[in-house]
Structure 1
Amino acid sequence: MNLDSDFHAERATLRSRLRQQRLVAGFGAEAFRARDFGELLRRAAEITAEGLGTDFAKVLEYIPREEALLIRTGVGWRDGVVGVVKLGADTASPAGYALKTGEPVITNHLAGEARFRTPAVMAEHGVRRAINVIIQGEEGGPAFGVLEADSRDPKGSFSADDVAFLQAVANILGLAFDRERDRTTRDLLMREVHHRVKNSLQLAQTVLNLQARASEAEAARGQLEEAARRIMTIAAVHERLYTGRHFGRVNIAGYLGQLTDDISTSSGAASAGRAIGLDLVPGGETAECDADRATTLGLVATELVTNALKYGEGRIVVRFDPGAEAGHMRLVVEDEGAGPPPGFDPALSRGLGMRLLVAMLRGALTIECSAAPTRCRFIADLPPEAH
């Protein structure tokens, strides 16, 4: 009978270890694909509780300035614990000891534990047993915190094999933490770069505008003003890159809206009764693109709107379609004028603005005009974003 009991116990243990191995392997694959570090922490807590069969699990984030461990995420805890409750990070705390020494901590009898105090939140939830391991990436680098599993069951016990499972999950988190830290540092540096570039471009724009005002020759003044608007277009891209919701991506609707407002103000269009409106097809409100494509799109819009102000009539409408055909972005600028003369070829134009458009669009510029009602429409198609 004892042999039979031992056999079943060994089989149960083996199944448990195999399940833990599968969980670790699956979590490693998730971590490789993950882009949201917070979601990965939550999954680690879920996998910990599942792999160890515990009532509770938590990821504790070390807050150095407070010498505390914040319960960043977890499973099983009452409302008001996760993201709020902090534990001591000193060595009198089980989690604090694991953090400070780097050694795993098993406490199978918290009530009788002489080495550590029992945190109030664990006592409140009736926790009897706990196991803690450090979450740390590259050797010698800063620790993120501690991964912990807690149980109310007084009969079972955590083992060295459980430590191995928990540490494997924590090690995956440590690697993800290194990646997140590197990404954060890189993003901060790039935000600073874009901020400085934007400031430099705005300074250049200001100098050109001052020169334009001081110029007595009308042709020279117009050229300087156009150059200033082109610089303003590029500066706006850099501003969007470091202030946008998704770093390195530009929300096109917001960018074009700001751009048309700036052109209206700088050109005096509003005071002259030349309204400039923005029209977005469904999906245009949330469309995003990278810096290169946003710069091209902005310069195309600036040139076409400026052209409509100089040679067109009436209200100007900027229409944007993020996916007109197979990922091609389409920008349409329409006014109420008669348009260029018959046979006009943008590629043969002597104007700098048209030559810029031809170079940027590589021939993907169409002009449509109608007499009733009088309309002139410039249609620019941008190729799909490179990946």
Structure 2
Amino acid sequence: MKVEVTRESLANTPSAPEELEQRLVQQALVAEFGRYALRNHDLDAVLEEACRVAAEGLQVRFAKVLECLEEGEPFLLRAGVGWGPGLVGHAQVGADLESPGGYAFRTGEPVISNHLTRETRFRTPQLLADHGVVRAVNVVIRGDGEPYGVLEADSRDPGAFSPHDVAFMQALANTLGLAIEKEKALNDKRLVSREIDHRIKNSLMLVSSVLAMQQRNAVSPEAKAALVQASDRVGTIARIHDQLHRSATADSVEFGSYLRALARDLMGSLARNDADLTLEAESVDLAADRAAPLGLIAAELLMNALKHARRERERSHLGLSFRRDGDALELVVADDGPGLPAGFDPAQSKGLGMRLILSLVRQIEGTFEAGNHGEGARFIVRCPAEGPG
């Protein structure tokens, strides 16, 4: 690494106490950036934060991330601070040996130029000239794989970047490189997960179609009824899986939106024009292993209400609510039908739907209440908001 020393840079060299304070600040900035990058899954935000930290740590106005898109193509100004409007995300900078960033990227070594107008190694990119930049420092961003690009800090002011500044920038770039690798791994995992989800949904819908065809060919009423029930249930599971996939982010599901979409899909698929549903669902982020069983429970209870709460020559009214109360979740399904028979005990029920509900409730370590309320039946499920571990 070559560092250019000039009369101006010597005049702007900080005193020993100032130098020590600046290095401590730089170390703290890198450590805090590492924590930020570990928590944040938004790569654009992480790149922007890296630029902000670089500018703050070197006390300069400009910093940027230059991304290498394809071999032989210019860098993309992927993120940055201090640059003119409309440049970030669009501007391009040469990636060859004739630019500071390209020189660092091609040689794999940090580059300091404390006086760009006197440089003999490379030209000054037009982007820097347009912003009055007179000095720059560049380091390569790399994780475990191929280099991603270059992290660069630029200044209009006279002064000098030092080897200590390079060490700060390289530590920041290395941390950023690991964050980029982490995000790439997560994206690869999401792509595989989406493909698996798609195949599972298709397989479930195929099973539902086969059951429906068998139902049409069945002779006895009992067999027809059993096949209809099985086909409906498999179709419901497929819709739950689809809605769960649509509502999920990297780590969680916004369950209120998921439940609304699931209920709307279920009511539409059953083609019930004689029933109204009132739904109240709070926006709560849940882990997928908590959202999936709760979604199945809600679907089973809704199908049960639609089946048993029919009113002759009158519309049925169903209610579905979901809320978080401290560390607990509460799901309630109610109807205005004839209600449950006296002495009804869910644990003694022989119906497949009720047995499935009780099994799912045990899975989420919850409680289940079934009783009559007002004119109809009401079912309440409560469980911890988070699973064990």
With the shorter chain as reference, the TM-score category is: 0.7 to 0.9
Equivalent position amino acid for 2:329 in 1: M
Q: CA deviation at 1:152?
A: 0.9
Equivalent position amino acid for 1:361 in 2: V
What runs of 5+ residues in structure 1 fail to find an aligned partner? none
Q: CA deviation at 1:6?
A: 12
The percent of aligned pairs where both chains have the same amino acid is 44
SS of the residue corresponding to residue 15 of structure 2 reads helix
Change (3 A) 1:317 1:82: same
What runs of 5+ residues in structure 2 fail to find an aligned partner? 1-10
* Distance in 1 of aligned mates of 2:163 and 2:18: 16
Equivalent position amino acid for 1:28 in 2: G
Q: CA deviation at 1:7?
A: 11
Equivalent position amino acid for 1:243 in 2: R
Counterpart contact for 1:241–1:249, Cα < 8 Å: no
Match of 1:70 in 2: 76
TM-score by length of 1: 0.87
- Larger RCO (alpha carbons 8 Å, 6+ apart): 2
Q: CA deviation at 1:8?
A: 7.4
Counterpart contact for 1:328–1:383, Cα < 8 Å: yes
1:48 and 2:54 matched = yes
Match of 1:15 in 2: 21
1:311 and 2:308 matched = yes
TM-score by length of 2: 0.86
The number of residue pairs the alignment matches comes to 371
Match of 1:166 in 2: 169
Counterpart contact for 1:237–1:250, Cα < 8 Å: no
Deviations 1:303-332 (CA, angstroms, capped at 9, x unpaired)? 222222332234242412231x44333222
* Distance in 1 of aligned mates of 2:42 and 2:154: 25
Q: CA deviation at 1:18?
A: 3.0
* Distance in 2 of aligned mates of 1:20 and 1:303: 57
* Distance in 2 of aligned mates of 1:383 and 1:23: 38
Q: 1:86 aligns with which of 87, 92, 103?
A: 92
* Distance in 2 of aligned mates of 1:51 and 1:248: 32
Counterpart contact for 1:195–1:242, Cα < 8 Å: no
Change (3 A) 1:33 1:57: same
Match of 2:338 in 1: 338
Cα RMSD for the two superposed structures? 2.6
* Distance in 1 of aligned mates of 2:221 and 2:121: 85
Change (3 A) 1:152 1:268: closer
Alignment of 1:1-387 (within 5 A): 9-64=15-70, 67-138=73-144, 141-153=145-157, 155-244=158-247, 246-270=249-273, 273=274, 275-281=275-281, 284=282, 286-313=283-310, 314-323=315-324, 325-362=325-362, 364-370=367-373, 374-386=375-387, 387=389
Change (3 A) 1:217 1:318: farther
Equivalent position amino acid for 1:172 in 2: T
Counterpart contact for 1:369–1:377, Cα < 8 Å: yes
Equivalent position amino acid for 1:43 in 2: E
